[in-house]
Structure 1
Amino acid sequence: MFSDGEDDDVLILELGGERIVMPKFREEDDDQDADDEATTSSSSVVVMSPELAVERVGVGPFQRRLTALCTLGNAADAVEVMSVALILPAAGADLGMTDAQKSALASAVFLGAFFGALLGGVLGDARGRRLALALAMAINALFALLSAAAPDATTLILCRFLAGVGVGGANAAVFSVVPEFLPRASRGKHAVVLASGWMFGSVYAASAGWATIPTLGWRTFLVASALPSIACLAGVAAFMPESPRFLASVGRGKDAAAVLRRVASANGTAREIPDGLIVRAKASGVVSGGVVSGGGAKRGHREASSSFASLCRDPTLSRRTLLVGAVWFFVSFGWYGLMLWLPEYFDRRLSADDDDDGSSVADDRVYAFALLVALANLPGNVASAFAVDVVGRRTTVAWCSATASLAAAAFAVVGGGGVSGWGGYVACACVFNALSVGGWNALDLWSAEAFPTATRSTAMGALGAIGRVGSLVGTSACGAAIGVSLTAPAWIACVAMVMGSAGAMATNLETRGRALEDVVGEEGGGGGEGEDDSEELLADVEQRS
């Protein structure tokens, strides 16, 4: 807790049961926080790093609301992807789509998400996470609604492509902003809750599809699929502030402090944030005679190209992007390649066994089976919430991917049976999804923690784009293979998941327990512990006092 001392030139900081006499800092010539210096009395400036400031505000109602809101945004991503798989049989028949057009429809969302991830990621680092998420949700909602009125296959494919642009940008935004509001000890479980948006989105999509497509039609279902994006957009506009780490990284230290003060007020920890606080993110800085000096970021925002350039030019970050990106590619290839063709597989298998192609009984079972597979996310989410903190992020990715490959192989073997054995192949699909989602949760968290704030959104966008390429290739390959053999996609997914597991084990990068880095070149940026220089600053002040 901060309080004024008897001497007006000092502050007394009570930290861990100790009293630290701290001179009130004065800002000198420094581009970072230049406006803050002009508006804040030189006798009342207190500087903290983002890591220390976020630790002090703690975890409470604010983070729970933010995580819930961003989970809704992640759910919109799942709804967008799963909706294409669910409407394929009905929309294909209604619009007279060829197999090539069905494949194009299944791939369109991934192609759109590829561009959306790149553009949204760069926007998030250049102008902020809040704007990036709001724009992504608006684009997704608009084109999801327009696709419901598509008069032909070409228009439907185009609208789903543009809706995919929206969800591609949303993924980078939500997985960047949530960890930036959380102390390191809380990031694991909150990130898993955020990732569980896929489960909620999948269950919502499967339930809505089952309730609407057989009776009201696929167009009504597409209207319902836009609701999560609309709700998330409303929540962002009404509640979500900008990330304090982003604000600090672009030199808006006083604005970052104002956001943290709002968080602390909601969490009941307002006493932990002193008046006159400026949050500063930088690679170096010294305390000399009660004066804080050092380099800083450009005030207000950064150039759109700077974060992407850092990923390409910095040896550590570029190598990290390639290694983690390989995991994204193979896991996306395997998971999407199998999951998006499951409704088609169920439809063909049940129709062939009933000897009544397109029967209503078979159609109802397709959506019931899709719902069961979506519900299998739950045990995967629960298990991964503990695994990421117990065995680590990287190990969870590797083991979940490896065991998911075994489930895919089992599906291929069991899936050759008739309707009397439907329980076997549905069970294998459920196990595959449960294990895969555990790996996905860890992969999202691992990726977000691996990059500094200055490039985090761009990195998540780049990784998401790599994943979308894997998804696009996977769905195309499995779409072609299913014409040869109904179980071929499962064998393809098996091999891809093995490659994803091997990729995770090939790197020694582990982020469990690490402080988040804030700027490129920060100590610990090469995979170290990310030491918080605020603690060194306070120790220096204590020694001087």
Structure 2
Amino acid sequence: MSQLAQPSSPVLDIAPILDHGEWTSYQKRILFLVALVMVFDGVDAQVLSLSLSSISAEWGISRAAFAPVLGFSFVAMALGTALGGLLGDRIGRKWTLIASSVTFGLMTLLGALADDIVFLGACRVIASLGMGAAMPNVTAMLAEYTPLRRRSLALAIGMSALPFGGIVVGLLGAQILPALGWRSFFVIAGCAPLIVALTLIIGVPESLRFLVARGIKPAACLNIIRHLGHAVSLTTTLEDSGEAAAVKKASVRTLMASEYAGDTRVLAVAFFTVILSSYLMFTWSPSLFVEAGYSVSMSSASMALFSLGGLIGGVGGGWLFSRFGSRKTMLCMAAGALACCAALMVTPLQPAANSLPIITVSLLLLGLCVPGTQAILFVLAAQIFPTSMRASGVGLPAAFGRLGAVLSAFIGPWILASTGTRFFGFIAAMMLILFVALTLVRRHIARTANQGRSDARLNEVR
């Protein structure tokens, strides 16, 4: 019998270390580096939209010619989210995340060489596959390297890095596009994720829970545990009492045949409603306000308010999540979004009505509730599913939700054909569906803020 199988071989349960131990600087570094992926995911997702005017002027084509590129990119992002989740559960979170960063970074970089819409479109579609694949693996890494009492907040910060990337790219574009042109903008946006991928290779380990669940690379596992502040010997056997379920190869069939199938379906509906609503706001509400009589600068400011609300809602929602649990937090946010839509439905949008203060406050709160709910849906999903299917459990519902972005491109003109009543009424209907879906989630997460650290003896090798 091998040494590891002998009765005298020490056994270490990693669950108390990861769920109730100290939140070390090593774990915070992992949080920072994987959140950087989401920042530049947000940057690269908007680099084409911000460059459309410059590219159209250089090539002598209308911006409408780019509609198929944007549509196919949304589809590719949805496929990438599902594929990234499946790959993360099969080959590991770290290398799937690195591959996704390299993909969207390299394709954005190559886009700078484009001389026609076909080549640029191909680059953007492939880049979108990589962008979609990043998110489920970021959520899995954050969930598996953060103590339970801080997990919701860490996940919320990680997901809020995406809208923060939108703010960053807006600031960069305002400086780079007039001075250096769109090609330089693409080069800078493409190089950044490649640098981040290199730091992931050097500075981020594979998920410890994934390695232990798969029973691979025991030496690497022991090295990670040492970085977490625990002395272990080479003969130590690792187990994870927090993941007692049998490990199965991740697949759509496995997920939908499991006890988590019901929550997977409900989460898919929830993701669909918030992503559809968010993209309707980002894509079409500026046109709504311009047609109502406001200036282009005011319509841009309205989206800045909406984005700011999303950033606050994501981080603040994570904080509330840990103190009141997911059910109360998310139902209140869905109800808040419904109330904001109701206010905007009955508020005259024309400047002559002097309703700008109501519109401003409503847009800020709507951003807090809609993109904010989208961010913490990832927080919820990452904590519902076990390690063996966590990336898939996040990726598949989110991929279905991404189809809402595709649908927004087609229904936007229809709901803009009337007044703001129809536009915000449609979003209100989505928020009502979201509220119902959230009530049907079986595995809501209880409050975690007051869950103290486990006794130090729980972390000792027995």
When the two structures are superposed, what TM-score results if normalisation uses the length of structure 2?
0.85
Distance across 1 between alignment mates of 2:190 and 2:146: 29
Distance 1:169 1:153, change over 3 A: same
The AA in structure 2 aligned to 1:458 is S
1:431, CA displacement in angstroms?
Answer: 2.5
Aligned to 1:359: none
Amino acid at match of 2:137: A
1:322 matches 2:255: no
Q: Which of 337, 340, 352 lines up with 1:404 in the alignment?
A: 337
Q: Does 1:115 align with 2:115?
A: no
CA distance in 2, matches of 1:224, 1:411: 39
Counterpart in the other structure of 1:223: 187
Q: Judging changes above 3 Å, is the alpha-carbon distance between structure 1 residues 396 and 104 closer, same or farther for their aligned structure 2 residues?
A: farther
Aligned partner (choices 383, 408, 428) of residue 474 of structure 1: 408
Conserved? CA contact 1:48–1:277, under 8 Å: yes
Distance 1:224 1:397, change over 3 A: farther
Q: Which residue of 2 aligns with 1:309?
A: 253
Give the 5 Å matches for 1:191-340.
191-252=155-216, 254-255=218-219, 257-264=221-228, 269-271=229-231, 273=232, 276-281=235-240, 303=249, 306-314=250-258, 316-340=259-283
**Counterpart code for 2:230:** A
More strand by share: 1
Query: Residue type of the partner of 1:450?
Result: I
Contact conserved, 1:333 with 1:470, CA < 8 A, in 2?
yes
Deviation at 1:105, TM superposition (A): 3.4
**136, 141, 144: which is aligned to 1:180?**
144
Conserved in 1, the CA contact under 8 Å of 2:107 and 2:126?
Answer: yes
Q: Distance in 1 between matches of 2:64 and 2:243?
A: 56
Q: Tell me the SS of whatever aligns to 1:270.
A: coil
> For the structure 1 residues 147 and 255, does the alpha-carbon distance in structure 2 shift closer, same or farther, using more than 3 Å as the test?
same
**Comparing both chains, which one has the higher relative contact order based on Cα–Cα distances under 8 Å and sequence gaps of 6 or more?**
2
Aligned-pair distance for 1:409? 4.6
Structure 2 unmatched ranges of 5 or more:
449-453
Cα distance in 1 for partners of 2:344, 2:191 equals 33
Shift of 1:397: 2.2
Describe the shift of the 1:484–1:199 C-alpha distance in structure 2 as closer, same or farther (beyond 3 A). same
Contact (CA 8 Å) 1:89, 1:344: kept in 2 or not?
A: no
327, 339, 359: which is aligned to 1:394? Answer: 327
Task: Classify 1:280/1:308 alpha carbon distance in 2 versus 1 (closer, same or farther; 3 Å).
Answer: farther
Is 2:314–2:373's contact at 8 Å kept on the other side of the alignment?
no
Aligned residue among 88, 94, 101 for 1:124: 88
Superposed displacement of residue 334, structure 1:
0.9
Cα distance in 2 between the residues matched to 1:487 and 1:219: 40
- SS for the counterpart of 2:237 is strand
Q: Following the alignment from structure 1 to structure 2, what is the Cα–Cα distance between the partners of residues 47 and 116?
A: 39
Change (3 A) 1:431 1:155: farther
CA positional deviation for 1:353: 5.6
Give 1:472 deviation, angstroms. Answer: 1.4
- Do 2:85 and 2:133's aligned partners in 1 also have CA atoms closer than 8 Å? yes
Structure 2 vs 1, CA of residues 335 and 402 (structure 1 numbering), >3 Å: closer, same or farther?
farther
User: 2:288 touches 2:420 (CA, 8 Å); kept in 1?
Assistant: yes
1:225/1:180 CA distance change after superposition, 3 Å: same
Which secondary structure state, in structure 2, belongs to the residue aligned with residue 64 of structure 1? helix
Deviations 1:497-542 (A, max 9, x none): 221122112234212368xxxxxxxxxxxxxxxxx9xx99x9xx9x
User: How many residue pairs were aligned?
Assistant: 454
For the structure 1 residues 398 and 144, does the alpha-carbon distance in structure 2 shift closer, same or farther, using more than 3 Å as the test? farther
Percent of paired sites with the same residue: 22
Aligned CA distance change for structure 1 residues 433 and 228 (closer, same or farther; 3 Å): farther
Which structure is higher in helix share?
A: 2
Flag the 1:284–1:174 CA change in 2: closer, same or farther, 3 A: closer
8 A Cα contact 2:136 2:394, kept in partner: yes
Aligned to 1:439: 373
Per the TM alignment, residue 456 of structure 1 is displaced from its structure 2 partner at its CA by: 0.7
Larger deviation: 393-402 or 207-216? Answer: 207-216
Cα displacement (A) at 1:119: 1.4
In structure 1, the residue matched to 2:284 is: 341
Supply the distance in 1 between the matched residues of 2:437 and 2:307 (Cα, whole angstroms).
26
TM-score (norm 1): 0.73
SS in 2 for 1:279: strand
Indicate whether 1:455 and 2:398 are aligned.
Answer: no
Alignment match, 1:521: none
Q: From 391, 398, 417, give the equivalent of 1:464.
A: 398
Report how far residue 86 of structure 1 moved: 3.1
Using a 3 Å threshold, how does the CA distance of structure 1 residues 96 and 338 change in structure 2: closer, same or farther?
Answer: farther
- Measure, in 1, the Cα distance between the counterparts of 2:16 and 2:358: 52
Matching residue of 2:451 = none
Note if contact 1:132-1:173 (Cα within 8 Å) is conserved in structure 2.
yes
> Could you say what the CA RMSD is over the residues aligned between the two structures, in angstroms?
3.5
Q: Describe the shift of the 1:45–1:388 C-alpha distance in structure 2 as closer, same or farther (beyond 3 A).
A: same
2:124 and 2:93 map into 1 onto residues whose CA distance is 24
The answer to whether the 8 A contact 1:343-1:367 is kept is yes
